[in-house]
């Protein structure tokens, strides 16, 4: 889990979450609508929808927004979206996975390719970097929920694979197919999580310096600003000193 928790904290201190909150809610709404449209509109009968709603609540998305997204799916006026994954390399050879939901494949492909190119990266074929990542489930709790031993014990009992704790968060990792069960067990023991979602976890990382980190983040932020893009994941890693220098810069 190289650098995951500290990286999330650095992003938070940069104010990135506040900056994109409107877009974040839009992406969460889209996932909820798609999940409800593809399955049952009742979260208790639809694991994907349940996870989408849980993630939205963890991100403080208003209840009205969540209910409106579900109703949009059941009302028959929801757009038809294709879920497409793009893979490529950022500047310096850092691997990048981009997950999209789009109603226009050609537009999205063109925009993603152009964004990679402008940031000094290259868009590759499907599978070109996927082998550097494993699909996992991730549940995040604030440090205030309990000490590391308490959370570790709860995570083991819930069937999780790994836990990383620091001064701000407990990041719990499980098999992707176990996320619903693990998150439910944790919720019964620790309460509602800050975040519950599927992630791409790097099994090979690329070390970057401050210049490299800055270039990769420009690509990540440009991709995240695209309304068709749901998630962006990289395999970058950096020392604490580089992370801190980036956090203190205008990055």
The pLDDT assigned to 74 comes to: 82
Dihedral pair phi/psi, residue 72, rounded to 5° = -60, -40
Residue 110 lies in a domain: no
The answer to which of 16-30, 117-131, 183-197 has the lowest mean pLDDT is: 16-30
Residue 97 lies in a domain: no
Where residue 181 falls among pLDDT bands split at 50, 70, 90? very high
Residue 251 lies in a domain: no
* Segment 187-230, tens digit of pLDDT: 999 999 999 999 999 999 999 999 999 999 999 999 999 999 99
Range of the domain at 50: 4-74
Residue 32 lies in a domain: yes
Helices (H), the chain: 4-13, 16-19, 21-38, 47-58, 63-74, 105-118, 148-158, 179-190, 210-224, 240-248
Residue 156 lies in a domain: no
Residue 26 lies in a domain: yes
Dihedral pair phi/psi, residue 104, rounded to 5° = -150, 95
Residue 160 lies in a domain: no
For the chain, the domain total comes to 1
Q: Hey, what are 248's tokens?
A: 């203190």
Angstrom distance (rounded) from CA 84 to CA 229: 9
Q: Give the CATH number, domain containing residue 43.
A: 1.10.10.200
* Segment 148-169, tens digit of pLDDT: 999 999 999 999 999 999 998 9
Residue 9 lies in a domain: yes
């Amino acid at each position: 889990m190289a650098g995951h928790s500290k990286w999330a904290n650095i992003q938070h201190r940069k104010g990135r979450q506040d900056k994109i909150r409107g877009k974040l809610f839009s992406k969460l709404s889209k996932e909820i609508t798609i999940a409800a449209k593809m399955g049952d509109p009742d979260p208790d009968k639809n694991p994907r929808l349940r996870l989408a709603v849980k993630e939205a609540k963890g991100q403080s998305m208003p209840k009205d927004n969540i209910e409106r997204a579900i109703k949009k799916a059941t009302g028959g006026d929801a757009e038809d979206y294709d879920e497409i994954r793009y893979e490529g390399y950022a500047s310096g050879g850092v691997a990048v996975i981009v997950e999209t939901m789009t109603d226009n494949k050609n537009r999205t492909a063109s925009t993603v390719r152009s964004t990679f190119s402008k940031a000094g990266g290259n868009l590759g074929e499907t599978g070109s970097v996927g082998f550097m990542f494993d699909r996992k489930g991730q549940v995040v709790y604030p440090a205030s929920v309990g000490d590391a031993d308490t959370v570790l014990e709860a995570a083991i009992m819930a069937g999780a694979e790994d836990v990383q704790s620091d001064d701000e968060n407990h990041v719990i990792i499980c098999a992707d197919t176990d996320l619903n069960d693990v998150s439910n067990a944790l919720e019964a023991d620790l309460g509602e999580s800050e975040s519950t979602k599927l992630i791409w976890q790097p099994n090979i990382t690329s070390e970057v310096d401050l210049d490299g980190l800055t270039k990769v983040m420009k690509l990540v932020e440009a991709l995240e600003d695209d309304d068709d893009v749901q998630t962006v994941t990289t395999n970058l890693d950096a020392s604490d000193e580089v992370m801190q220098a980036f956090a203190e810069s205008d990055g």
